[in-house]
Amino acid sequence: MTEIEKKINELRETLRYHSARYYNDDAPEIEDYAYDMMMRELKALEEEYPQFDTPDSPTKKVGGKADNTFESVVHSVRMESLQDAFSRDEIRDFDKRVTDAIRCPEYVVEPKIDGLSVSLEYRDGIFFRGSTRGDGDVGEDVSGNLKVIHNVPLKLNKPIPYLEVRGEVYMPKKSFERVVDRQLLNDEKPFKNPRNAAAGSLRQKDSSVTAGRGLDIFIFNIQQIEGVELNSHKQSLDYLKELGFNTVPFYTQVNNIDDALKEIDRIGEERGNLEFDIDGAVIKVDSFDQREMLGSTAKYPKWAVAFKYPPEEKQTTLKDIEIAVGRTGVLTPTAVFDSIHLAGTTVSRATLHNQDFINEKNVNIGDIITVRKAGDIIPEVLCVNEKNSEGAYVYPTVCPSCGEPVIRENDEAAIRCINSECPAQLLRNLIHFCSRDAMDIEGLGPAIIETFVDNGLISKTYDIYNLDYEKIASLEGFKETSANNIRMSVEKSKDNDLGKLIFALGIRHIGAKAGKLLADHFKDIDSIMNAPVEDILEIDGYGLVMAQSVAEYFSLASSIDLINHLKAAGVNMKSKTVVEDERFKGMTFVLTGTLPTLKRAEASKIIESFGGKTSSSVSKKTTYVLAGEEAGSKLDKANALGITIITEEEFMGMIK
């Protein structure tokens, strides 16, 4: 194999990998610009060395593919991608190709929304199906999730016999910020940018999750239409507005390429002020007849081109590095630098991610750095241009908020404070403590907890059990009745099983099931607090990381203090699980589908009362799969592994 062929194959594999991360996993690892440059390099090599060109090259395919999570939809009109241009010369080359083929073209210039491309279909003006682009030929049916997006009309203003339109589902910048704040609060990995947030939200199995993400849509093209004659792109966009669609927000018709370039410049200057993310501007031939004459390549229409704005970068001096403690205990470094103007806004702070990132970039206070906006939203440090310091900045060894030692676990890039009473983590810990799977304190939701913290009613977790209910009743929006309801819910939580308390403490790596296993094994909190790692490891389902996490948590003075205060408040510290007999000892059950009479929680409780345990996934260690109606992939996997599948009736027979 020649060096050129080897280089081409390497580029293809790299592009396929990053394409899958971007389109299918919604978790990109590189910036769009770096991906685009690799694609251009591959395309140039294939043109120069046609003997190595292949029909399955990434240069000839749309990046996504249909996921098996949803039903497949075959697109009768292919959902093509656009050819990219990165310079004015390339735009002029596009114009020359067009004018060589047709006379006096008019163009429409519009912003290129950075989101997830979808198709919406209507019969007699009624929405009946919506799907993702996928690979351009086959996408996913996401009708249920599209219906909950506010600007997707379910009924058009006119009863068109049949209409298919193409649009871009996106997440507004304000919605993105709210979603990321919520993810950080819930100890979840935040979305990297609004585009991936939109894609991840649209692919949710539960449409109520999609509805809560604040998605929106712009419609930018008619794919198919019956009963109406339209001749141009601008005419079609105007008509789509009449039908009730939220069309691409602004579009300009021009009759020469110079005016098109001026409009591209104008959009570029405005993009920092827009409420949504764009990654370029699109030039389209306006006339549908002329589009027909120009045709398409295997991947792109010849009548359109997308100008991609390069990421804006500027140099500045790093003045300081501030360490903040997030709601999950992670220490996050922020670069503070001389103000610069980027993508329409003035910025003076940027994320430095973690210690590994700082070491990789060799960043320290006093250095001259290059800053850019990732996705035109979040400023980040790109590199060091001039080194004016010794080595890389080093994290503090204690938490800047509470002074407790910080830790870094082997499998993590993050350095974190694990003190459950750390002031910086208070709000997140309180919300978790009161949540349904934890202490289940009804009435103490996130907004109310935040109100109580702001009013000085709670400054430690155990303050929940010493609330001033007279003061609560005097707060705006509260009355004596609501205060009494909270009091009753707090009192009720004192009687919870020890397993719920263990989960409520927020110990790293210890979920609700692991908390119950710990409680049932040791029976009371004192035995758990005094247990060495070796004893914790004896629990079936516990590994070394989990065992060490439990031992480390209960070695902290702050954890011991919290438990003592909870004891004094009368919170139950013992396991309530009673094993009637051990007929299911050593057995693992997986529950799937809807059971005729039992709820899953009820079935799980029965299994545990007979000494068995439940698991959320099927494996070779599974003893039985208890299956109800609409059992899905778990049932398929059980059949493949030869696991015994039982009905509720058979299960009830086993416990008689």
Closest residue by Cα to residue 172 from 279, 280, 276, 278: 276
Which tokens belong to 16?
């396929």
What CA–CA distances, in Å, run from 550 to 269, 459, 510? 53, 24, 8
CA 252 – CA 110 distance, rounded (Å): 7
SS3 annotation, 145-213 = HHHCCCCCCCECCCCCCEEEEEEEEECCHHHHHHHHHHHHHCCCCCCCCHHHHHHHHHCCCCHHHHHCC
CA 11 – CA 80 distance, rounded (Å): 22
Cβ(561)–Cβ(425) under 8 Å? Answer: no
CA 630 – CA 83 distance, rounded (Å): 43
CB atoms within 10 A of CB 242: 10
Going across the sheet that includes 252-254, the strands are 84-85, 304-308, 278-285, 107-113, 252-254
Q: Is 405 helix (H, G, I), strand (E, B) or coil?
A: strand
Catalytic member of 43, 65, 96, 112: 112
Active site (annotated) includes residue 620: no
Q: Per DSSP, which regions of 505-603 are E strands?
A: 588-592
Closest residue by Cα to residue 122 from 169, 157, 79, 86: 157
CA 264 – CA 146 distance, rounded (Å): 30
What CA–CA distances, in Å, run from 179 to 118, 145, 214, 434? 22, 17, 9, 21
User: Residue 556, exposed/middle/buried by CB under 10 A (0-12, 13-18, 19+)?
Assistant: middle
Cβ(161)–Cβ(128) under 8 Å? Answer: no
* Helix 194-202, helix 173-185: angle, nearest 10: 70
Residues belonging to the active site: 112
